[in-house]
Amino acid sequence: MKLHRPNADLYIPDNTAPEAALKRTTHMGIGAHQDDLEFFAAHGILECYGHQDRWFTGVTVTDGAGSSRTGIYEKLTDAEMVDVRRGEQRKAAFIGDYAAMAQLDYPSSIIKNAAETGPVNDLAALLEAAQPQVLYLHNPADKHPTHVAVLARCIAAVRKLHKEKRPQKIYGCEIWRDLDWLPDSQKVILPMGGRTNLQAALNGVFDSQITGGKRYDLAVMGRRLAHATFFESHASDKQAGLTYAIDLSPLAADDTLSLEAFTLPLIEAFANEVRQTLQAAG
């Protein structure tokens, strides 16, 4: 497989040949930045960990050059920071026993430009080679513009595949803006109560982002616990952790459905739920 960027990286933790490594994929996550996958697609990583019939493949789209940096990373150049973040993502892939980890090395400016064809073609090639049954993506209500741009490129890539080769399930997951606001009927509930040691190890690998004071590792685990506690008001917790997602599968079933037309009715459903509760309260 030839990816467009000269420094694109395909890492196979167990040294299986790339074609075979990708072909065994059952679950795939595509994220904008190094660490996104471990924060939003951990459900897929845990679903596959320790199973020979289920394998998780990760894809990180951007190069990490614009990452914040403090402490021992403060004086690193953009090129040096790219190397650090690529290495951290490789470590996570090794810890999580991924089938493969692809880092496409695109600057955010290219990802945000819908006229650039390279990212979509690279993503389509990886999806064609892996043909995952389950695909974890950013969600369309995320407040990070790069996350939403990556989602748009991912949907375009999925639509380049023949329909029989498209994932059976596509989940839009939470990072920058959680999905607690979704009506419960619209939430995809992904249990995250198991292997908290592995979750912590995956989150903690990204030292370059955590050491500067952004405790993503604690925040992500706190959100999962909070969702488990606050999901139901009149029942004991059924899980030690939950994460929420939006079912994006309709976007793969209908190539004419835009992200805007798909997303805005979800927000309107939330508004209607709040309106009904207020009206019932008098």
Tens digits of per-residue pLDDT, 184-212? 999 999 999 889 999 999 999 999 989 87
- Position 234 scores a pLDDT of 67
Residue given tokens 């990072």 in the structure block:
175
Residue 48 lies in a domain: yes
The dihedral through the CA atoms of 81, 147, 60, 196 has a sign that is positive
Residue 88 lies in a domain: yes
Residue 4 lies in a domain: no
**pLDDT confidence tier of residue 183, bands split at 50, 70 and 90:** very high
Residue 251 lies in a domain: yes
**Residue-wise DSSP of the chain:** ---SSTT-EEE-TT---HHHHHHT-SEEEEESSTTHHHHHSHHHHHHHTT-SS--EEEEEEE--TT----GGGTT--HHHHHHHHHHHHHHHHHHTT-SEEEEEEE-HHHHT-TT--HHHHHHHHHHHHH--SEEEEE-TT-S-HHHHHHHHHHHHHHTTS-GGGS-SEEEEE-BSB-STTS-GGGPEEEE--S-HHHHHHHHHT-HHHHTTT--HHHHHHHHHHHHHHHS-SSS--S-S-EEEEEE-HHHHH-TT--HHHHHHHHHHHHHHHHHHHHHHH-
Q: List the structure tokens of 277.
A: 């509760």
Residue given tokens 């917790």 in the structure block:
237
- Position 74 scores a pLDDT of 84
Residue 59 lies in a domain: yes
- Position 235 scores a pLDDT of 72
Mean local confidence (pLDDT), 8-36: 97
- Position 211 scores a pLDDT of 85
- Position 1 scores a pLDDT of 76
CA dist., res. 159 & res. 167, Å (int): 11
Residue 148 lies in a domain: yes
Residue 162 lies in a domain: yes
Higher pLDDT, 1 or 20: 20
- Position 155 scores a pLDDT of 98
Over the range 148-161, which residues count as b (16 or more CB within 10 Å of their CB) and which as e? bbbbbbbbbbbebe
Q: List the structure tokens of 266.
A: 């979800």
* Terminal-to-terminal C-alpha distance of the chain: 62
Tens digits of per-residue pLDDT, 69-79? 788 888 889 89
- Position 13 scores a pLDDT of 98
Residue 219, pLDDT above cutoff 90: yes
Mean confidence (pLDDT) of the chain: 95
CB 191 within 8 A of CB 242: yes
Residue 238, pLDDT above cutoff 90: no
Cα 157 to Cα 130, 165, 187, distances in angstroms? 13, 12, 24
CATH number (domain holding residue 162): 3.40.50.10320
- Position 240 scores a pLDDT of 82
Mean local confidence (pLDDT), 260-277: 97
Count how many domains the chain has.
1
Full domain range(s) for residue 273: 9-281
Tens digits of per-residue pLDDT, 110-162? 999 999 999 999 999 999 999 999 999 999 999 999 999 999 999 999 999 99
Overall pTM surpassing 0.75 (yes/no) = yes
**pLDDT confidence tier of residue 98, bands split at 50, 70 and 90:** very high
Residue 3 lies in a domain: no
